[in-house]
């Protein structure tokens, strides 16, 4: 397992001083992940990413770096209002849900100018052939071929070199663990590849990161039973006002079984969402209720109460935060300051390493 000895080793000290501080730094896993700011957080994001990330940020053996990937947003969303709005909503969401920003480093990618700078250094170490294999780019090309278009139709360089920017995010802070969904594993592996190449060429500067896919968290189904995702337009936004939340839950697709007819919980989005919020006992109770033929209307009513009960307080904080955006901005600035303490120093060493230095 990698630890953070590299960055200590390169801290300019001849060797790491062995006091208790050093020991904690050395044994702490650094966990880093980014959230692209293109949409409004929904229940699926909450269950699959936000809730586990906030929990993991409480770990004493780890230091979390969580950031708003707004440069990444520009790749697929060129509507300025939407990028801005999403950034506010995502920041407010994480804060409302109780992310402790004294413990976790919470920042916005675009507030760290060292990231795009590192991105260029890495771009010059990244094989073009590696980028050709990136699945987001390959999918765009395949769709074009299918449609009889030019293979690169509508593909911008942001999409093409997206994995290099992501590598810069990760390597800038020498993250060991990168919690991501399955679709992002390839990108973390590319970051590792680029880091290894850089290390080989310029000396050991980067920790080699590892993707961490949590198989225990639920991938939530959306209103239509497919995976809940903005691109399917089937989401339940996380902080809908109560009435709208109820309406959305009522729209979850069910079959035509009547009250009294036994229902299959494992084939039901209502049950699946229930399970993601319920205690094991509550889940057993609902399973029994399904077997006993609970009416869909009743199951949805109970689901609304459960979800609303768990999110109600946070929703209040969310609304208060959105009404006070300067506070959100201050928190992000404080996070950026913390992050930049490290990135400024590190980029200096990297510039030096590649031969970009003052003429003395
Ligand atoms: N590309 C990631 C996604 O769409 C978001 C992201 C950007 C990210 N930079 C990152 C995730 C660095 C992990 C580490 O989900």
| Per-residue pLDDT tens digits for 247-281 | 999 999 999 999 999 999 999 999 999 999 999 99
How far does residue 231's CA lie from ligand 1's centre (Å)?
Answer: 17
Ligand 1 pocket: which of 184, 192, 206, 213 to mutate (most atoms <8 Å of CB)? 184
Q: What is the pLDDT of residue 20?
A: 44
Residue 34 has pLDDT above 50, yes or no: yes
Q: Which atom of ligand 1 is nearest to the CA of 109?
A: 9
| Cross-strand bridge partners of residue 35 | 68
Cα of 137 from ligand 1 centre, angstroms: 15
What's the mean pLDDT in 283-307? 98
Q: Is the CB of 73 under 6 A from ligand 1?
A: no
Mean pLDDT across the stretch 39-63?
95
CA of 192 from ligand 1 middle (Å) equals: 14
Confidence (pLDDT) at 215: 87
For residue 196, the SS3 value is helix
Query: Is 14's pLDDT higher than 50?
Result: no
For residues 358 and 360, give the distance between their C-alpha atoms in angstroms, rounded to a whole number: 6
Query: Residue 23: its pLDDT value, please?
Result: 44
Query: SS3 for 268-284, per residue?
Result: CHHHHHHHHHCCHHHHH
Q: Would strands 105-108 and 62-69 be described as parallel, antiparallel, or unpaired?
A: parallel
Q: How far is CA 214 from the centre of its chain?
A: 13
- The rounded distance, in Å, linking the Cα atoms of 230 and 179 is 20
Q: How far is the CA of 166 from the centre of ligand 1 (A)?
A: 6
Report the share of the chain in percent with pLDDT over 70: 92
* More reliable by pLDDT, 86 or 219: 86
Strand partners, 64: 31
CA distance 261 to 289: 11
Check pLDDT > 70 for residue 17: no
* Pocket lining: 38 vs ligand 1, CB cutoff 6 Å: no
Burial class (CB in 10 A: 0-12, 13-18, 19+), 166: buried
Per-residue pLDDT at 5: 33
Question: What does the pLDDT average to over 341-345?
Answer: 98
CB 178 near ligand 1, within 6 Å: yes
Measured from the CB, is residue 184 less than 6 Å from ligand 1?
Answer: yes
Q: Do the beta carbons of residue 200 and residue 147 sit within 8 Å?
A: no
The C-alpha atoms of residue 214 and residue 56 are separated, in whole angstroms, by: 12
Encoded tokens for 328? 């959100």
Instruction: Please give the average per-residue pLDDT across 119-124, as a whole number.
Output: 98
Q: Model confidence over 62-83: pLDDT tens digits?
A: 999 999 999 999 999 999 999 9
N-to-C CA span, the chain = 40
- From the centroid of its chain, how far is CA 238? 15
Give the Å distance between the CA of 179 and the centre of ligand 1.
9
Q: What six digits make up the tokens of 346?
A: 């590190």
* Residue 238 structure tokens: 């996380």
Mean pLDDT, residues 184-194 taken together: 97
CB of 69 closer than 6 angstroms to any ligand 1 atom: yes
Please state, in angstroms and rounded to a whole number, the distance separating the CA atoms of residues 4 and 174. 7
Category of 251 on φ-ψ map: left (φ > 0), alpha (ψ -120 to 50) or beta: alpha
DSSP, res 126: S
Q: Which pLDDT score is estimated for 216?
A: 84
Window from 19-23, 160-164, 268-272 with minimum mean pLDDT: 19-23
Calculate mean pLDDT across residues 278-305: 97
């Amino acid at each position: 397992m990698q630890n953070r000895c590299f960055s200590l080793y390169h801290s300019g000290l001849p060797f790491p001083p062995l006091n208790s501080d050093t020991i904690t730094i050395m044994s702490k896993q650094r966990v880093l992940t980014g959230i692209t700011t293109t949409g409004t957080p929904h229940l699926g994001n909450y269950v699959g990413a936000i809730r586990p990330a906030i929990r993991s940020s409480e770990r004493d053996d780890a230091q979390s770096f969580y950031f708003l990937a707004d440069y990444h947003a520009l790749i697929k969303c060129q509507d300025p209002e939407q990028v801005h709005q999403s950034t506010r909503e995502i920041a407010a969401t994480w804060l409302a849900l109780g992310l402790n920003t004294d413990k976790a480093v919470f920042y916005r990618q675009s507030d760290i100018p060292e990231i795009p700078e590192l991105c260029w250094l890495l771009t010059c170490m990244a094989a073009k052939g590696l980028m050709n294999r990136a699945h987001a780019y390959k999918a765009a090309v395949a769709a074009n071929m299918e449609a009889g278009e030019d293979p690169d139709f509508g593909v911008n360089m942001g999409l093409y070199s997206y994995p290099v920017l992501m590598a810069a995010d990760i390597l800038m802070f020498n993250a060991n663990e990168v919690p991501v969904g399955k679709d992002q594993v390839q990108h973390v592996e590319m970051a590792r590849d680029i880091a290894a190449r850089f290390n080989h060429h310029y000396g050991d500067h980067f920790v080699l990161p590892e993707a961490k896919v949590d198989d225990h968290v639920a991938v939530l189904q959306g209103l239509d039973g497919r995976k809940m995702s903005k691109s399917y337009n089937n989401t339940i936004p996380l902080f809908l006002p109560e009435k709208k939340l109820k309406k959305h839950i009522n729209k979850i697709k069910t079959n035509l079984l009547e009250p009294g007819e036994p229902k299959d919980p494992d084939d039901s989005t209502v049950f699946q969402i229930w399970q993601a919020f319920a205690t094991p006992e509550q889940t057993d109770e609902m399973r029994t209720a399904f077997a006993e033929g609970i009416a869909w209307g009743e199951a949805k009513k109970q689901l609304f109460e459960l979800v609303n009960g768990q999110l109600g307080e946070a929703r209040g904080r969310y609304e208060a935060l959105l009404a006070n955006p300067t506070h959100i901005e201050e928190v992000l600035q404080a996070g950026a300051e913390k992050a930049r303490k490290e990135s400024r120093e590190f980029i200096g060493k990297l510039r030096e390493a590649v031969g970009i230095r003052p003429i003395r």
